[in-house]
A and B are shown apart, each in its own frame.
Chain A
């Protein structure tokens, strides 16, 4: 080992040092799999992964996957050690890919160990992970829209909370007072949430762009405002009149053909309309950002507003539009929590998802699909927690809850070092 340590310390070249650190991490993960999981399994145990969802599904049935726990764990540990050794000796050209692979192996090893002698519904776990990642992804997308034009939106949490409240209230009013058909009531609730998000976005834009208020403070103010108003109104109105907090939820529907694909089908294509809306939004935002005039101007305003200004681009207008759009997306995230998930509003129901969305945005390097990918990891960690409560795992539950986050943190530390925010992020623009 001493030579390895010497090599880490001796060279000044950062990339080389970084590469070696990666190698050591891979070795360490292999060792952890061996120490934590493989030693806890015996040769006669088997882990069964169920690959067909438990409920009704269009997906073509797949046989369950039953594997000998110990052999698989040894295999995973060996692969990690080999990858680490290769990284130290030769180095991978795409080391982040290797890091992702090792992280996935660690999680799989964890699952194999946790579900030994039992069966675990993998498809169900992934499906629930996706559902939990949707609000985080929408929050991240809202952050991308705002920060790409250099306005930090820390108010996403508040915008989501307001969106959720309005969706519940207006959806219920339409459904239970005006007695609209349920699809119309749901759409009305959704539209109201979008409008509420847009209004709060506009408020943030006015504070940040027009009055040049510190964006963190402006955002925090909006968060506090949203918490106060929704909690107050929910206690005074929703708690009093239950029929005002019962808007219904968007029904699940399967997308023909695509939903038949094993595993992927039930995970991605047997969801409700709001989940599909997220997919569409991701594609549209990505294309808009990188292939249209609006996107080019947005990115220029976020990176070098003075340059954009000298070319006759209206920096202020760009920021107003984008932040308002970002508010709408956050409102959609709030609406999803109610209309796409539990069907009612609860106080503080966003529970930090807006902030986790910001982390997903950073992890995803300010790219729509990057933020979505990061949100999937967070959503998976969330889904796993619930799953573990059901499987009776023989370690203090607090430590088990930490495991997925630990993996996330390792991945974050590896990748975020290279994430660069838009150069003008958070700075108000002063015209000369």
Chain B
């Protein structure tokens, strides 16, 4: 029997990049095939070709042994191929039923939408595959994990049997990831075949039947969890040996640097998203804030750095009351900020590397003399930083927009870490970065801690928080539900706290 899906020699070039270079891939029936690779390795490009969003320059696609011409998503859907995109393709203001039926609407009396029969079909699909969801709920009111279920139901509603899941775990809590794995296994048991795209090694080992590793647009090799280890996979992805665990000694906490008391902050829409948060960070320790995205972490960090007004409560940094202080005063107090959205808040994309390196010090000597910029010093310093932090850029005058994500983040790290700082506030410092860059950023953060800097680390990646932190604060719906010492916290415990199980007794009861 021919494989369900076969890609032969797929090649796709974008200006300046060969995103896919003669890629071969086969997907057997009832197989979970993991596609593993760093960001920019070409995984998403390949899947977008398969789904008809891009047209390949070369290569052929065979579905069940027959050559398939896929020019747009309609062709892919007709071939039984469905895709759950990394950023969900759901319309928030429509209901689950409307989202699922969109494009293949059932109609009664010639023109009117038949929501009832569509909702019934959705209920049947939910039961069959264990995808619990209320067809009449509005998508915007659903948690991310349920939204993902809606995405999967969308594919099943269209009777897809080749399912592509693009980085499906990026937005989920550990418990939701477990749920998802159950669903994926149930899909495969009922005859579907799945391509699972990820850069997370643990997940690949847990779920995949076979693993294909991509690097720089090429297939490095195909293997299976039984034949390989996480270390070997990491080496295949990056092309060299990589340290997966963060190496760090015990913390030596000293005086309190950041003290937050009863902080309340609103988001842009006027909802109270930080609801009375109190904690302290001491010099020489990393306090990690764990929590699913959207539980108030963004607003918390913005309030601490002076980017968002504080409604109630106090922020003390090194003894000074900096509640609602302007950002420059916060920075001058020795605070470094690595923002969660580096392209929007961390860099001026159209400016060269050199200018981005002095964005918060350009007005001080030696970069400014008598109100004018000293270009020579700025350029010379930039050259030095680029070497010191290993920023891969053609020159310091190259605009930051043309750098890779990892190198953009290194520009921010270089800028923030080269000042004398006492407090580092790092929000998702490794978001979207590859294994090699993650390793580098983590090492730098631990170095800062060991130099006596207080570190507040905010990340939705539980592994990152667990690996770097000395204490872990878990945020849920705008409150810190608990602060645990990192060496005593287990992943299950933190995961449950992230999901809103509040009291310690509940946690131990659920684990038991």
Q: Is the CB of A423 closer than 8 A to any CB of chain B?
A: yes
Q: Which of B48, B90, B272 contacts A307 (CB 8 A)?
A: B90
Interface contact A293-B83, CB-CB below 8 Å: no
Taking A12-B264, A12-B272, A300-B94 as contacts, is the C-beta distance between A312 and B89 under 8 angstroms? Answer: no
Nearest CB on A from B445, distance (A): 33
Contact B112 A312 (CB under 8 A): no
A311 x B264 contact (CB < 8 A): no
Which residues of B have CB within 8 Å of A303? 91-94
Asked whether any CB of chain B lies closer than 8 Å to the CB of A321, the reply is: no
Given the complex of chains A and B, what is the CA–CA distance between A306 and B89 in angstroms?
7
* A297 at the B interface (CB under 8 A): yes
- Complex CA gap A296/B103 in Å reads 9
With both beta carbons as reference points, the residue of chain A lying nearest to B312 in the complex is identified as A12
Q: Which chain A residues lie closer than 8 Å to B467 at the CB level?
A: none
Is the C-beta of B117 less than 8 angstroms from some C-beta in chain A? no
Chain A 105-134 interface mask (CB, 8 Å, partner B; 1/0): 000000000000000000000000000000
Check if B73 sits within 8 Å of A310, measured CB to CB: yes
Q: How far is the CA of A309 from the CA of B77 in the complex (A)?
A: 12
In the bound assembly, the distance between CA atoms of A310 and B90 in angstroms comes to 10
Q: Please, which residue of chain B has its CB at the minimum distance from the CB of A432? A: B53
A386 within 8 A of B: no
Give the residues in chain A near B104, CB-CB below 8 Å.
311
Do residues B53 and A300 form an inter-chain contact, with CB atoms below 8 A?
A: no
Min C-beta distance of A147 to chain B, whole Å: 14
Q: Nearest-CB distance from B424 to chain A (Å)?
A: 29
Structural contact, A307 and B89, CB atoms closer than 8 A: yes
B311 at the binding interface (Cβ < 8 Å): yes
When each residue 162-193 of chain A gets 1 if its CB lies under 8 Å from chain B and 0 otherwise, what string results? Answer: 00000000000000000000000000000000
* C-alpha spacing A311/B84, complex, angstroms: 11
Q: Is A20 an interface residue (CB 8 A)?
A: no
Measured between beta carbons, the chain B residues less than 8 angstroms from A291 are: 112-113
B12 to A: closest C-beta gap in Å: 12
User: Taking A12-B272, A12-B312 as contacts, is the C-beta distance between A293 and B107 under 8 angstroms?
Assistant: yes
CB nearest to B111 among chain A residues: A292
CA distance A86 to B88 in the complex (A): 45
A299 within 8 A of B: yes
**Chain A neighbourhood of B128, CB < 8 A:** none
Indicate if the CB atoms of A310 and B91 lie closer than 8 Å.
no
Asked if A313 is at the interface (CB within 8 A of a chain B CB), the reply is yes
Contact count A vs B, C-beta below 8 Å: 76
Whole-angstrom CA separation of A306 from B48 in the bound complex:
13
In the assembled complex, which residues on chain A have CB atoms less than 8 Å from the CB atom of B77? 311-312
Nearest A residue (CB) for B264 = A12
Contacting residues, chain B, for A293 (C-beta < 8 A):
105, 107, 111, 113
A392 at the interface (CB under 8 A from B): no
Contact check, B102 vs A13: say whether CB atoms are below 8 A apart: no
Chain B: minimal CB distance from A299 (Å): 7
Interface string of A128-158 (1 = CB under 8 A from B): 0000000000000000000000000000000
Decide if B271 is an interface residue (CB 8 Å cutoff): yes
B196 at the interface (CB under 8 A from A): no
> Quick one: closest A residue to B88, CB to CB?
A307
B91 close to A304 (CB less than 8 A): yes
- Per the bound structure, the CA–CA distance linking A310 and B83 in Å amounts to 9
The distance in angstroms between the C-alpha atoms of A309 and B83, with both chains bound, is 13
Asked if A257 is at the interface (CB within 8 A of a chain B CB), the reply is: no
- Complex interface residues of chain B between 62 and 79 (CB less than 8 A to chain A): 72-74, 77
B394 contacts the other chain (CB 8 A): no
Q: Which of B308-355 contact A (CB under 8 A)?
A: 311-312
Residue from A14, A292, A304, A306 in contact with B112 in the complex, judged by beta carbons closer than 8 Å: A292
Interface flag for B250 (CB, 8 Å)? no
Contact A12 B311 (CB under 8 A): yes
Contact B111 A300 (CB under 8 A): no
Which of A309, A310, A432 has the largest count of B CB atoms less than 10 A from its CB? Answer: A310
Say yes or no: B48 contacts A432, CB within 8 Å: yes
- Residues of chain B with a CB closer than 8 A to A13's CB: 272
Query: Nearest chain A CB to B361's CB is how many angstroms away?
Result: 35
The yes or no answer to B440 lying at the interface (CB within 8 A) is: no
Q: Is B51 an interface residue (CB 8 A)?
A: yes
Looking across the interface, which residue of chain B has its beta carbon closest to that of A420? B93
Q: What's the least CB distance linking A166 to chain B, in Å?
A: 31
- Measured between beta carbons, the chain A residues less than 8 angstroms from B83 are 310
The interface residues of chain A lying within 8 Å CB-to-CB of B105 are 293, 296
Q: How far is the CA of A313 from the CA of B91 in the complex (A)?
A: 13
- A12 and B91 contact, CB distance less than 8 A: no
Q: Which of B91, B104, B266 has the most CB of A within 10 A?
A: B91
Q: Which residues of B contact A306 (CB under 8 A)?
A: 89
Interface residues in A265-309 (C-beta closer than 8 Å to B): 291-293, 296-297, 299-300, 303-304, 306-309
Q: Are B111 and A304 in contact (CB under 8 A)?
A: no
Q: How far is the CA of A309 from the CA of B91 in the complex (A)?
A: 12
Closest to B105 in A: A293
Known interface pairs A12-B266, A292-B113; A310-B272 also in contact (CB < 8 Å)? no
Residues of chain A within 8 A (CB-CB) of B98 are 296
List, in ascending order, chain A residues with CB within 8 A of B272's CB. 12-14
Instruction: Report the bound CA distance from A296 to B73 in whole Å.
Output: 19
Docked CA distance A65–B442 (Å): 81
Q: How far is the CA of A293 from the CA of B101 in the complex (A)?
A: 10
Q: Of all chain B residues, which has the CB nearest A306?
A: B89
- A291, A292, A299, A312: which has the most chain B beta carbons within 10 Å? A312
A7 CB to closest chain B CB, in angstroms?
15
> Can you offer 30 A-B residue contacts whose CB atoms are under 8 A?
A12-B272, A291-B112, A292-B111, A292-B112, A293-B111, A296-B102, A296-B105, A299-B91, A300-B91, A300-B94, A303-B92, A303-B93, A303-B94, A304-B91, A307-B90, A308-B91, A308-B103, A310-B51, A310-B53, A310-B83, A311-B89, A311-B103, A311-B104, A312-B72, A312-B73, A312-B74, A312-B103, A313-B102, A432-B48, A432-B54
Nearest first, the 8 A-B pairs at minimum CB distance are: A311-B103, A307-B89, A312-B74, A14-B270, A12-B311, A293-B105, A303-B91, A304-B91
Q: Which residues of B contact A (CB under 8 A)?
A: 48, 51, 53-54, 72-74, 77, 83, 85, 88-94, 98, 101-105, 107, 111-113, 154, 264, 266, 270-272, 311-312
Q: Other than A304-B91, A432-B53, give 11 A-B pairs with Cβ distance below 8 A.
A: A12-B272, A12-B311, A13-B272, A293-B107, A300-B91, A300-B102, A307-B89, A309-B73, A310-B51, A310-B83, A312-B74
